[in-house]
Amino acid sequence: MADIFDFECCLSEEARRRAAPGQMVSASGVAEDIVADLLVGQPANEALPLNHMVEAARNALPENYPALLYGRRKGSLELIDVVREKLRVFEGLEVDRDQIIITNGSGQAIDMVLRTFVNRDQIIALDHASFGALFVRRVCDHGAHVAWDEQGPRPEALDELFATRQPAIFYTIPTFQNPMGNTITRERRLQVLEICHRHGVPVFEDDAYYELHYDGERPPSMYELDGGTGLVTRAGTFSKILGAGVRLGWILTSAPLTERILPLKTDGGTSPFASALASEFMREHMEEQIARLQDIYRERRDIMLAALDEHVGDLASWHRPNGGFFVWLTLGRPELLDDVMQRCERSRVHVRSGSVFRVDGDGLGAIRLAFSHAPHDEIRTGVRVLGESIRASIAANP
Ligand SMILES: Cc1ncc(COP(=O)(O)O)c(C=O)c1O
């Protein structure tokens, strides 16, 4: 047998860089080993419309040869029309076909938009803690987080950052933020847009959770508030509505900018097969599915919040999210974060350290809890174990 080939020494700089901390989210592990999975922002199993997808396949596939051929670069026209219809029904927003690109999940949309605007030696401005931190190193070496108050990014922090280190783009998740769960108010959105216009910094609005609204305020998107000037590029996804396995998302921006973003798309066209099924499903069931998801996740959020009140109490603080998948818990003793994480891990309760959402790896003494995927009892158990872990950590570190 030949010697094992040492590929490590042959790796490109890019491959080496990607092995650095700040990797994409991993799968949540083997189910039997886990006591509670509060780790990944995945849909609940019962939210996945498998039966309707079988029906959608029966209706969409016969005679549909293009579904198994290469697709249009900008994506399936019928799925683009579904996205336009969704924007019209849920937001009263009218957009043209040539303003949309269908992507392989919004992960690909993020990658394409960042590569369109950012050079390796430039910086990306990000929310205080951000899912976007997972993407920064793919594109450049620097990210700068903008501090938030209860309304969103602090205007003076944004202004100062832009004046001193002109970022290539401001990547924000303004609605039901990942990981922080909160939402930028309408007034603050307008302030942020004014600052970005003044400094000439484009905005990337990652809107993965827009549809998952349970109660309270949901302001218009940054894209809408900006009135189509071309400053804001917005991305959305079918991962949370239909299931992450369909791998479909979209970019919405000005028509001329879509032409600059498109060359960064390196595939043979986003799956025409998945697009055909998703289009059929959405045409038949969009509103009913989204209403169903809102009921499922509102209940899970409430279960998690009640469990936090009962088991964590004043050992940490958190916001009540009006939508999305996450509660962001800041420990009363931030320095215990690693110890608490280790205790949870040993009890096989999986939660996400805040450090994943910072380019500098600063955990902010915070933990992200996903309430979307775990069944009700698992949420309660997970939060109880988390409370016990915090207490044990405090006892061991008086
Ligand atoms: C804020 C945000 N953006 C984008 C994504 C990527 O989603 P996908 O690539 O599945 O569309 C996620 C997934 O968790 C997310 O939370």
Per-residue pLDDT of 317-355, as tens digits, reads 999 999 999 999 999 999 999 999 999 999 999 999 999
Domain that holds residue 347: 28-49+288-396
Q: Is 131 in the pocket of ligand 1 (CB under 6 A)?
A: yes
Judge whether 381 lies within some domain. yes
Which CATH number do you get for residue 140? 3.40.640.10
Residue with the smallest CA separation from ligand 1 atom 15 is 208
In order of 17, 169, 362, the CA distances from 122 in angstroms are 16, 9, 21
The H or E element containing residue 250 is: strand 249-252
**Rounded distance, CA 156 to CA 259, Å?**
34
* CA distances from residue 313 to 197, 305, 386, 390 in whole angstroms, order as listed: 42, 10, 11, 11
The answer to whether position 8 is within a domain reads no
**CA–CA distance, 46 with 43 (Å, rounded to integer):** 8
Ligand 1 pocket, 173 CB below 6 A? Answer: yes
Question: How is residue 306 written in tokens?
Answer: 């009640």
Measured in angstroms, how far is the CA atom of residue 131 from the centroid of ligand 1? 8
Q: Could you tell me the CATH number of the domain that includes residue 32? A: 3.90.1150.10
pLDDT digits (tens, 9 = 90+) for 257-270: 999 999 999 888 89
Cβ partners under 8 Å of residue 251, min gap 6: 100, 101, 103, 109, 112, 113, 233, 234, 235, 258, 261
Ligand 1 touching residue 42 (CB < 6 A): no
Closest protein CA for atom 12 of ligand 1: 208
Share of the chain above pLDDT 70, in %: 96
- Residue 298 burial by CB count (10 A; 0-12/13-18/19+): exposed, middle or buried? middle
For 22-57, write each residue's pLDDT tens digit.
333 334 444 457 899 999 898 999 999 999 999 999
Element (H, E) at 235: strand 232-237
- 136 and 275 co-located in one domain: yes
> Would the CB of 208 count as within 6 Å of ligand 1?
yes
User: Is residue 5 domain-resident?
Assistant: no
Ligand 1 pocket test target in 25, 39, 83, 106 with most atoms within 8 Å of CB: 106
Q: Note the pLDDT tens digit of each residue in 207-261.
A: 999 999 999 989 999 999 999 899 999 999 999 999 999 999 999 999 999 999 9
**Residue 11, in any domain of the structure:** no
Kindly give the distance from the C-alpha atom of residue 234 to the centroid of ligand 1, in angstroms, as a whole number.
13
**314 part of a folded domain:** yes
Probe target for ligand 1 pocket from 39, 209, 237, 371, with the most ligand atoms within 8 Å of CB: 237
Rounded to the nearest angstrom, the distance between the alpha carbon of 233 and the centre of ligand 1 is: 15
Judge if the beta carbon of residue 175 lies within 6 A of ligand 1. no
Atom of ligand 1 nearest to the CA of 177: 1
* Domain end residue (candidates: 237, 255, 285): 285
Residue nearest to atom 14 of ligand 1 (CA): 41
Statement to judge: residues 107 and 215 lie in one domain: yes
User: What φ, ψ does residue 2 adopt, rounded to 5°?
Assistant: -70, 155
pTM (global) more than 0.85: yes
Q: Which of 176, 183, 206, 210 for mutating ligand 1's site (highest number of atoms within 8 Å of CB)?
A: 206
Same domain assignment for residues 274 and 170: yes
Mean pLDDT of the chain: 93
| φ/ψ of residue 212, rounded to 5 | -90, 70
pLDDT at 26: 39
Determine the distance separating the centroid of ligand 1 and the alpha carbon of 164, expressed in angstroms: 30
Q: Write out the two tokens for 381.
A: 């158990």
